[in-house]
Amino acid sequence: MAQRVLITGQIGTGKTVLSQLFGLQITRDAQEKGVNLQYVHINCRECKGSLFLILQQTISRFHPHFPKRGYSAEEILHVLVQVLDEQNLYLILTLDELDALIRNEGSAPLYNLTRIQEDRPNAPRRLSLICVLREIEYLDSLDPSARSTLQHNIIHLSEYSKAQLLDILGDRVNLAFRVGAVSGDVLGLIAGLASSEGGDARYGIELLWRAGKYADVSQLVEVSAECVRMAASSVYPTVSKDVISSLGLHEKLFLLGVARRFKQTGAVQMSIGDAEEAYAVVCEEYGERKLGHTQVWNYVKDLSAVGVIESRLSGVGQRGKTTMISLSRVPASDLERELIKVLSVGGN
């Protein structure tokens, strides 16, 4: 029988790794039992939140030369089910960063994916779904019929405690470092920094890696606390380069305008109106037509969701209500430099 599972949790809590490890184990177990089962992991953000691109990537795992044009998303979905029937194949499809698909296309994709097999009640249920997203509140925007299919099996991954981070980092030390190269005090320092950033294991692992690289460059036999401090100054907590690279063209242009405005003014926060003005200047520089207020507001929500910026409604003492934007996780100059580099090699 087909299953639908929802995995939620903040950045760095292991959602992607958990689903991929499960996929590896269940396909191995299925093979031992003589069941033809495949696991496919798709990142919805990398597919621009498009069901068409998601299904195109999925079916290409079984038909590498499947046409890239001429089919709608709904047609590809029916072809996929037909292929599964023909090959007597069962598929577990993981939709990572599901919020990108919901924001871009609403309820229809999930409704189609979860209901595709109801038109064939006597046929084998060949398609199971694992949906991965940070906040379960994203499901509130779905219509009730689509939402109900995803709220039965929910796995929430809580933020890691400092003790859990010590375990995770200790395993990485055993795998990657010579014995005695990382002391317990240094490991505790890294775990404490990661714990202060919301229990983000990804951040802690990158701190450990960078601290080790600084120790190598300095020709030290042991990673020092100063190496950790140097690493902390060069790592963007919860903002990695792959997140920036995965943004759309106008998201990058908007973020570049925000970074430059903060760099120029030295302000702690800015209004969404100021951000739109800065975005318009960058669009002119790159020869792009600026998008409207509604789309810019959506960018603010999306960039807040992935942890690049912070946003909140203006408080007491300010006239009217407006969205205020701040940038605390990465230096504005560093963000500007990274965005210019990404935009120079292909934009989106």
Query: Could you tell me the residue ranges of all domains in the chain?
Result: 4-157, 162-234, 241-344
Instruction: Tell me the CA end-to-end span of the chain in Å, nearest whole number.
Output: 39
Helix (H) / strand (E) containing 223: none
Report pLDDT for 217. Answer: 94
Give the 3-state secondary structure of residue 120.
coil
| 4-157: CATH superfamily | P-loop containing nucleotide triphosphate hydrolases (3.40.50.300)
Residues 288, 290, 295: CA angle, nearest 5 degrees: 130
pLDDT value for 239: 57
157 dihedral zone (left: phi>0; alpha: psi -120 to 50; beta)? beta
Strand 323-326's sheet: what is its strand order? 269-271, 323-326, 310-313
CATH class of 162-234: mainly alpha
Strand order across the beta sheet in which 127-133 lies: 37-43, 90-96, 127-133, 4-9, 154-157
Instruction: Give me the tens of pLDDT residue by residue for the chain, a chain 348 residues long.
Output: 788 999 999 888 899 999 999 999 999 999 999 999 999 999 998 898 999 999 999 999 988 888 888 889 999 999 999 999 999 999 999 999 998 898 889 888 888 888 887 777 788 889 999 999 988 887 877 888 777 777 778 899 999 999 999 999 999 999 999 999 999 999 999 998 888 888 889 889 999 999 999 999 999 999 998 889 888 877 765 456 777 888 889 999 999 999 999 888 877 788 999 999 999 999 999 999 999 999 999 889 888 877 788 788 765 445 557 888 987 566 688 788 889 998 987 655
Say what the pLDDT of residue 151 is: 72
Question: What's the rounded Cα separation, in Å, for the pair 264 and 143?
Answer: 44
Assign 3-class secondary structure to 22-69.
Answer: HHHHHHHHHHHCCCCEEEEEEECCCCCCCHHHHHHHHHHCCCCCCCCC
Give pLDDT, residue 117: 74
Residue 317's pLDDT is: 47
Note the pLDDT of residue 130: 95
Per-residue confidence (pLDDT) for residue 178, from 0 to 100? 95
- Can you list the positions of beta strands (E) in the chain? 4-9, 37-43, 90-96, 127-133, 154-157, 269-271, 310-313, 323-326
Report the C-alpha gap between 334 and 7 in whole angstroms.
32
Confidence (pLDDT) at 12:
83
Spatial separation of the C-alpha atoms in residues 328 and 315, rounded to whole Å? 19
Q: What is the pTM of this model?
A: 0.66
Both tokens assigned to 2: 């087909």
Class of domain 241-344: mainly alpha
